Chain A
Amino acid sequence: MPVTVVCLAILVAWYIAAVFMNTVVAEAKIEAAGGGLVNTLDISWSLERPVIPAPHQVVVEVWKTVFTVAPWKVKSLVFHVWVTLSSTLLGFALGTLLGIGLAVAIVHSKLLNKSLMPWIIASQTIPILAIAPMVIVVLGSVGLTGIFPKSIISMYLCFFPVTIGMVKGLTSPDPMQLDLMRTYNASGPQVLWKLRFPAAMPFLFTSLKIAIAIALTGAIVGELPTGAQAGIGSRMLAGSYYGQTIQIWAALVAASAVAASLVYGVGGIERVVNARMGVRA
């Protein structure tokens, strides 16, 4: 209920802002139409290239590009979402594997923990998205094009939360439980599989939710400097070049919807895993 009120307030503020910000560019047009409040509202909410499009214009644009165009055409938003989504998911999968692998290595080796951990943290203080253009160029010159370079950027972004979360999770079993495993004469892999991994699950899923969100951001930004022909990011870039504000907003709405459903999807998997592990909801 409070969420609805706040959303409505945002919507109202948006419409009002649209009036004020758009009349600046549409003044002449409104004058020509005879002025007055009705004309002002009518014109400022239906400009072709508004400073800020009214919500209904965005909705119409999304509707048009999703439902009235065949999904495999370049004009379709579904097509662009699919391109971005595929590289996001590939990067997310790679990043998760790398993150878990690093965490397992770090937990098992004191030396690695000391030497690798500071560098993993330092790796994230580099604004990786700034490297994006270079990564794409380097990979492009070795013959890797398409979704793979973008996935590498997503991977680089999302391995970090997974590693941090998993190191915490894998070390979360308390000494009593580890001692018990030792009295069972369990081998290293057995301790890992039967004790450490199950114990790390809550940490893993918290990290995965963060990871998939930034994987999407990585994929979108990865599309910017490459001049990629397709994807949500290139859609925004094209919109910004040609002043197609409505197109940018529509892409933004699509990106948000994808992000929300991805995080929701990870949450769903978490519930299934929890249920199988016998965690009471």
Chain B
Amino acid sequence: MKTQNFIAPVIFGVAVLVFWQAFVRFFDVPFVIFPAPTDIWAKLITSLPTLYEDFVQTFIRAVIPGWIIGSLAGFLVALLCDRFDFLKRGLLPLGNLAAALPIVGVAPILVMWFGFDWQSKAAMVVVMTFFPMLVNVVTGLQASGHLERDLMRSYGANWLQTLVKLRLPAAMPFIFNALKINSTLAMIGAIVAEFFGTPIVGMGFRISTEVGRMGLDMVWAEITVAALVGSAFYGLLVALERWVTFWHPSYRT
């Protein structure tokens, strides 16, 4: 059963790749429009050092710190919101609104403030990841039932104890939901911020310059790396979520 679930998508993916290769070769599609998968693979292998440098610049320096700071800040503000109801009623509608806003638009402003290097990209990631975390944690903290909370009160537990022992564990699915949303948002934020100015390294920079030079195989190689990194990041979070929230109904069989 398990292998079957695994095989179907793999076959589908391989079929797409084969079809792509055949299509490009058969119709002799110009290189600048669609390079064949083999071309991309060849480029990927030969330019590993460059790709690694871009990966470090964009992912290790911008995405990871930004993601951690943004999520942590969102989490802490959510705790404040939980403590002070006034703040919650004031911030939550704004948080919901912010989810609809095209936040990537602040990228040029942040680049202007924090300079061309990774700091401005990390700042972009912080801004993008803050609100999803805030909204999710505030919702998650209300997820524990009345009965359980009453039980905690009858134990004489104070706010902190109730938070750590009951409400935070109950909020974990929501927190992981936000972390997963944020992992994709962080990649997008960092790469888009690089379109507005960057030192001569980074995934977004490489993509935009190689498009200008018609080096489409390099662009695709970069996209492959981005997809692999993004998927690995996401997969890691899913695994962590499984381990932390093993009690959740969706994991019990």
Contacts and interface: CB of A to CB of B under 8 A. Distances in A.
A256 interface: yes
B226 A127 contact: yes
Given A5-B90, A118-B9, A239 B188 contact: no
Contacts of A221: 104, 192
Interface string B194-218: 0111000001100110010010100
B192 A129 contact: yes
Given A2-B90, A3-B93, A220-B102, A248 B108 contact: yes
Interface stretch (B41-49, B155-163, B227-235, B241-249): B227-235
A248 B109 contact: yes
Contacts of A129: 104, 188, 191-192
6 contacts: A7-B94, A133-B211, A220-B104, A225-B208, A245-B112, A252-B106
Nearest to B234: A125
Interface stretch (A65-73, A136-144, A273-281): A136-144
A107 B90 CA distance: 41
Contact of B197 (A131, A239, A240): A240
Given A114-B8, A116-B12, A51 B112 contact: yes
Contacts of B111: 240
A116 B16 CA distance: 11
B8 A111 contact: yes
Contacts of A60: none
Nearest to B203: A130
State the majority secondary structure of interface residues on A.
helix
Contact of A256 (B13, B102, B104, B109): B102
Nearest to A130: B191
B76 to A, nearest CB: 17
Interface centre among B30, B219, B233 (most CB of A within 10 A): B219
Given A213-B100, A216-B102, A220-B105, A142 B33 contact: yes
Range of interface residues on chain B? 35 or more
A259 B197 contact: no
> Of residues A130, A248, A262, which shows the largest number of chain B Cβ atoms within 10 Å of its Cβ?
A130
Nearest to A126: B227
A240 B105 CA distance: 11
B86 A134 contact: no
A2 B222 CA distance: 46
A119 interface: yes
A164 interface: no
B196 A138 contact: no
A141 B102 CA distance: 29
B5 interface: yes
B105 A138 contact: no
Contacts of B214: 137
Contacts of B230: 125-127
Q: Classify chain A: how many residues form its interface, as a range.
A: 35 or more
Contacts of B99: 213
A224 B208 CA distance: 10
B101 A6 contact: no
Given A133-B208, A225-B211, A119 B184 contact: no
Interface in A125-176: 125-131, 133-134, 137-138, 141-142
B207 to A, nearest CB: 6
B113 interface: yes
Contacts of B9: 114-115, 117-119
A262 B100 CA distance: 9
Interface in B149-201: 184, 187-188, 191-192, 195-197
Interface in A198-229: 209, 213, 216-217, 220-221, 224-225
Contacts of A5: 86, 90
B108 A240 contact: yes
Nearest to B106: A252
A29 to B, nearest CB: 19
Interface string B53-66: 00000000000000
B23 to A, nearest CB: 14
A126 B8 contact: no
Contact of A225 (B87, B195, B203): B195
A138 B94 contact: no
B97 interface: yes
Contacts of B94: 3, 6-7
A127 B91 CA distance: 29
A163 to B, nearest CB: 15
Nearest to A142: B33
B89 interface: yes
A122 interface: yes
A253 B105 CA distance: 10
Nearest to B207: A130
A252 B105 contact: yes
